[in-house]
Structure formats: C-alpha cells, structure tokens
C-alpha cells in the first residue's frame, strides 16, 4: 500500500504507475525543453509508513529527478528521470521519463507552488486521455493489458501543447493532489 501511495507521488517524481497515461513526447513550451528553477532542490512526501524524497537538479537547461523511496524494513529504491517543465498561460506542467529504461514513455503532470516550500502535484486523468484518443481528438492508442486500459498519446510536442492549452486543468485529477515539502538545506 505504501509503495502504491509513494509511486503515485513519484509521479511528480514520478515513477511509473499502471493507471497513468503514457506519452511519446514531453510537453514543452514554445522555446523547447526547460526547467522551472523554482522546483530545483530536494522535496519530501511522508506518511506513517515511509518517505519519498525527490531531488531535482538542473542539467543543461532541463532537469534530472532522482527519487528515493524509503519504506521501513526495506532497502531504499532509487530511480532517475529526465525532468522537463513548461508554463502554458498561467499553468505549470512537467514531463518525466525514466533514464534507466530507454524505451520508457513520458508521464505528464500539472504542478503548483503555493509557497516556495510547498510543491503540489496533480496527476493526469487517464479517463480524459482515453476518451480523447478514442474520439480522435488527439493521436494515440488505447490497449487492454491484463484487465487494464493503457492509453498512449503519440501526438507531437506542439500538438500536445496545443491540446493542453485547449483543455487546461480538466485533464488532471484535482481530487487527489500530492503535496511535497521542501527539505531545508543543512
């Protein structure tokens, strides 16, 4: 159960989850891949069973995200991701992709920084993306795998950006945001 909750937050960090939509391309701004300097640093999500730490650093104008999942009685799990951000109108978005799996898809989420020490992450709404692909509003495919529906969006970066601009926050699950706290520098 902890691993599931941490993996969901890892969708900031945002490890792979079975319900998430996969993307062939990241969402980027007009100028291309970038990194929001406000998210650079170390962040933590804690609950009664463990901690997920997300370390975000700038690497050549984009980001690298390293997640460390600590669950009592188990060895730490460490994963690395490419981390790209985009600001479209007033909303902030990020795409991540595992560096350890060359064929990994991108994951997309929306985020807010209500204060410099709080990062709120909203995962995508898989139902919205599945319906949009099925209705041919955006390029992609929907497959059934082991009783799960897996949606892959194949739209280009510019098509994805235009689609997100058109639909804004309704493509994200605002019911279950994940809140991470900045880890103070010691």
Q: What percentage of the chain carries pLDDT values higher than 90?
A: 56
| Residue 131 φ/ψ, nearest 5 degrees | -65, -40
Number of structural domains in the chain: 1
For the chain, what is the largest distance between any 2 Cα atoms, rounded to a whole number of angstroms? 51
In whole angstroms, give the CA distance from residue 185 to residue 57.
14
Q: Which helix (H) or strand (E) holds 157?
A: helix 157-167
3-state secondary structure of 3: helix
Q: Is the pLDDT of residue 126 over 80?
A: yes
Tens digits of residue pLDDT in 54-110: 999 998 878 999 999 998 888 999 999 999 999 998 899 999 999 988 788 999 999
Pair 140, 153: CB distance under 8 Å: yes
Pair of tokens at residue 24 = 């062939």
Give the CATH number of the domain where residue 74 resides.
2.40.128
**Structural domain that includes position 116:** 2-182
Q: What is the DSSP letter of 173?
A: -
3-state secondary structure of 2: helix
3-state secondary structure of 133: helix
């Amino acid at each position: 159960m902890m691993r599931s909750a941490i993996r969901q937050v890892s969708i900031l960090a945002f490890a792979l989850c079975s319900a998430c939509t996969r993307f062939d391309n990241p969402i980027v701004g007009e100028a291309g891949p970038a990194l929001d300097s406000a998210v650079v640093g170390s962040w933590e999500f804690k609950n009664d069973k463990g901690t997920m730490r997300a370390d975000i650093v700038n690497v050549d104008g984009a980001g690298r995200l390293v997640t460390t999942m600590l669950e009592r009685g188990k060895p730490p799990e460490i994963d690395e991701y490419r981390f790209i951000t985009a600001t479209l109108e007033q909303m902030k978005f990020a795409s991540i992709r595992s560096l350890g799996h060359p064929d990994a898809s991108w994951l997309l989420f929306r985020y807010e920084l209500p204060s410099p020490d709080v990062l709120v992450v909203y995962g995508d709404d898989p139902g919205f993306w599945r319906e949009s692909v099925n209705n041919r509003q955006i390029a992609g495919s929907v497959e059934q795998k082991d009783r799960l529906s897996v949606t892959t969006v194949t739209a280009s970066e510019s098509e994805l950006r235009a689609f997100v601009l058109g639909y804004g926050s309704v493509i994200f699950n605002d019911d279950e945001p994940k809140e991470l706290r900045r880890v103070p520098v010691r």
